[in-house]
Structure 1
Amino acid sequence: MHASPAPRSAAAIPLARLSGFYFAYYAALGAFTPYWSLYLQSRGMDVAAISVLMSLWYATRIVAPSTWTTAAAHSRNPIRWLWLGCALTVVSFLAFLLPLRFAGLFAAMCAFCFFYNAVMPQFEAITMSHLGDRSDRYGHVRVWGSIGFIAVVALYGVLIDRLGVATLPWLMLPLLLAMLLSSFGNRYAHLPEAAADAQPDAFRDRIRHPQAIAFFAAAFLAQVSFGPYYTFFSIYLDEHGYSASRLGLFWTVGVLAEIAVFFLSARIFRRWDAGRVLVLALLSAALRWLATALWPDSMPVMLLAQLTHALNFGAFFAAAMQLLVRFFPGRMNGHGQGVFYGLSSGVGGVAGALLAGQLWRFGGEAAFMASSVFALLAAAIAWHWLVRAGAHRG
């Protein structure tokens, strides 16, 4: 269930080019995630319309990653699919500069979210192809995405206060253009065109393996557990009397902690197996949601809970990349990335958001308690099949 990638020396890894793409991609996401709903509101959309439009972000994640990575895997020149995806992201985004009504915004969101969500799984495969047997250094590259995200969240908040939220598309456009330009500077590492692991039958055999199934199940449940957090956390804190500045503090602390883990990831994976790190990350998520449910009025407890984002997001994501390399080596990694993004962030994201909406009728505490249960179940699955069953490094 494992294969060792071809060794690559540290000098051969194009760290600057890889990091630059992550920085630009997540910088644009840092403008989109916190402020896009406010932009839609400025365009005259009501709450119902905004919820429908924003749900397209998760809905397109169900099909976009697997569609794009499959097309790239069967291409003689797969890097062109990255360039095409980035170019179509920019072209579709230009529609937001037009005075569109709901139907036009719906169509624009479908196209933009599809292409934007399509390119990152392919780029993850490109990154892992360069890292080879140094996949433990993934965090050193991916951390620049988190840095870009948090820098834009802070800077664009100030710019929007001064210029107005209606300017957001104009502010995002340079970030997306930077992503497009960065894509042209990247290539795959050498991969055999006729490698056996690129064949569809080989991928189907591997994805049916109990360890791979367990990994995807745990990833799905982990994303479901984040549903109340991504959908209602700011509202939850507002209900408990936290000011807007403290809301920003909570979100910032989480991303800063995530950055710290990415910097330390190489040391972490030299000492601990990715399966064990994944279990630890999921257990920390269970404790985080439990604390959020039980002690929302305690500032110290809530800050400590946010600091665990380093584990239940940063360490989880880094461990997931290690396991994807192990389960789906070589060109097949793109297929694995597509399934991972589509099932966890896509289906899991939609399911988590919908479930959070239903549970919120019983109160935020009930929703976060349910999140804790989902994370604990994911940890149990990962422990049984990825640790006890003898998962080991490739």
Structure 2
Amino acid sequence: MGPASESSPRVPTARLSSFYFFYYATLGAFTPYWSLYLESRGLGVAAISVLMSLWYATRIVSPSLWTTLAARASHPIRWLHLGCALALGCFALFLLPLEHAGLFAVMLGFCFAYNAVMPQFESITMSHLGARSDRYGLIRVWGSIGFIVVVAGFGWMIDERRLGVGALPWLMLPVLAGVLGSALLNRYAHDPLPPTREGDDTFRSRLRQPRVIAFFAAAFLTQVSFGPFYTFFSIYLSEHGYPTATQGVLWTVGVLAEIGVFFVASRIFRRWDASLVLMVALLSASVRWLVTGLFPDNMPVMVLAQLTHALNFGAFFAAAMQLLVRFFPGRMNGHGQGVFYGLSSGVGGVTGALLAGQLWRFGGGTAFFASSFIALLAACIVWRWLVRAPIPSG
């Protein structure tokens, strides 16, 4: 934290980090392996795609709705507890022999609840960090560590020679229980003030500021640019002759690089303003997608492109958290986080996936070239409205 009185509590780094660890560890099992589990239950490609689309679709609504409800509550922490409990309860229903309609309902409930809680927890973390928001990366890095641990560990355990993919829900339940347990251990740094009409008006007025609009536009475009990567990167690598093991290496090096940048994030933000870091991150994304489209058969170049994940995801995300604190201080931060997640991961994720599907008909290279242009456009927006017009720290 920044300058504080002697009576100010210390940042509960371990408790905060534990939530990120368990939350992203769950994603480390869900993102790469859940479609395989659904397939093992006899679902076809069309049914699986519908169920998996709920992950992005619920991100459009649940983050902003949940943070709005929390912001209006006299005890907002209870909404975090409720969301985590609902996610665990819904997921436990996957253990039942459900038919397609039942799976759809359970999937909808789980995705809605799980996507709702992280923006509120980001606000809790920032309430503890206060003026030392540059230390965010040292806490958030444990999410990336949890993701890698589970991707590697669960990938080994669900191999057909061991437990098989049918054991995936049983393996994930303890991790989800860890999310709920960590949520129950955490709290805001101080009791939020009661909601007021004046506060709501202030939040809406901040949303209308040109630099805030520019920030959200850049966040949206960034997620759109990741569409071909998140949707078709493994297919793209397969088309160019990369075996599955090599594909895993290329995915992993990006997350490892991301971990590295989170560890040094505090040093980065002590030296450079978050808006400048955001612009550099977007420029690196533009170069990454261009290189991916031009040199898919060059393994060393592809490794270097993946290493830039440290910038275009890790540095981007850390910088975005810094800016959200400036744009939406205090109680407004949770609401701002909800808008950020809903617009970028939600609307941007769906738009990016749909656009990637349309562009893929013209080849993977074309899709990544379009992503490069979109990321460059986002960088230009940040340069024009954020870098050239410094953001007040208050």
Taking the aligned partners of 1:65 and 1:315, their CA distance within structure 2 comes to 22
The offset of 1:194, in angstroms, is: 4.1
Instruction: Report whether the alignment pairs 1:74 with 2:72.
Output: yes
Equivalence map 1:46-65=2 (5 Å): 46-65=44-63
Describe how 1:208-287 pairs up with structure 2 within 5 A: 208-287=208-287
Which aligned pairs between 1:56-135 and structure 2 lie closer than 5 A? 56-135=54-133
Aligned to 1:136: 134
Residue 8 of structure 1 contacts residue 131 of structure 1 at CA under 8 Å; is this kept in 2?
no
Query: CA separation of 1:283/1:226 partners in 2, compared to 1, >3 Å: closer, same or farther?
Result: same
1:5 Cα deviation (Å)?
Answer: 9.2
CA contact (8 A) 1:207 1:213 kept: yes
- Deviation at residue 374 of structure 1 after TM alignment: 0.6
Give a deviation string over 1:102-153, Cα, whole Å, max 9, x none.
Answer: 1111111110000000000000000000000000000000000000000000
1:368 aligned partner: 368
Note the C-alpha offset of 1:7: 4.4
Matched residue, 1:322: 322
**2 CA distance for matches of 1:392 and 1:294?**
40
TM-score of the pair, normalised by structure 2: 0.97
| Residue matched to 1:378 | 378
Answer yes or no: is the 8 Å Cα contact 1:8–1:134 preserved in 2.
Answer: no
**Match in the other structure for 1:306:** 306
Q: Structure 2 vs 1, CA of residues 109 and 192 (structure 1 numbering), >3 Å: closer, same or farther?
A: closer
Taking a change above 3 Å as real, the CA distance of residues 8 and 319 of structure 1, as seen in their structure-2 partners, is farther
Quote the offset at 1:198 in angstroms.
7.5
C-alpha distance in 1 between matches for 2:278 and 2:3: 24
Alignment-derived partner of residue 31 in structure 2: 33
2:152 to 136, 154, 161: 154
Indicate conservation of the 8 Å contact 2:72/2:194, yes or no.
Answer: no
Distance 1:115 1:313, change over 3 A: same
Whether the aligned pair in 2 keeps the contact of 1:6 and 1:132 (CA below 8 Å) is no
Counterparts of 2:100 and 2:5, CA distance in 1: 50
**CA distance in structure 2 between the partners assigned to 1:66 and 1:133 by the alignment:** 25
User: Which residue in the other structure is 1:172 paired with?
Assistant: 172
Determine what percentage of the aligned residue pairs are the same residue.
Answer: 72
Q: How far apart are the structure 2 equivalents of 1:70 and 1:290?
A: 38
Q: Distance in 2 between the 1:260 and 1:182 partners?
A: 24
How far has the Cα of 1:191 moved from its partner?
4.3
Shift, 1:393, TM fit:
3.8
Distance in 1, Cα, partners of 2:5 & 2:24: 26
The number of residue pairs the alignment matches comes to 391
Q: Which amino acid aligns with 2:364?
A: G
Secondary structure of the equivalent of 1:193?
A: coil
Q: Distance in 2 between matches of 1:343 and 1:258?
A: 22
Ranges in structure 2 where 5+ consecutive residues have no aligned partner: none
Aligned-residue CA RMSD (Å): 1.6
Tell me the distance in 1 between the aligned counterparts of 2:252 and 2:10.
Answer: 34
State the shift of 1:100 in Å.
1.4
In structure 1, distance between residues paired with 2:378 and 2:261? 21
One-letter amino acid of the structure 2 residue matched with residue 44 of structure 1: G
Tell me, in whole angstroms, the C-alpha distance in 1 between the residues paired with 2:392 and 2:267: 17
Deviation at 1:196, TM superposition (A): 6.8
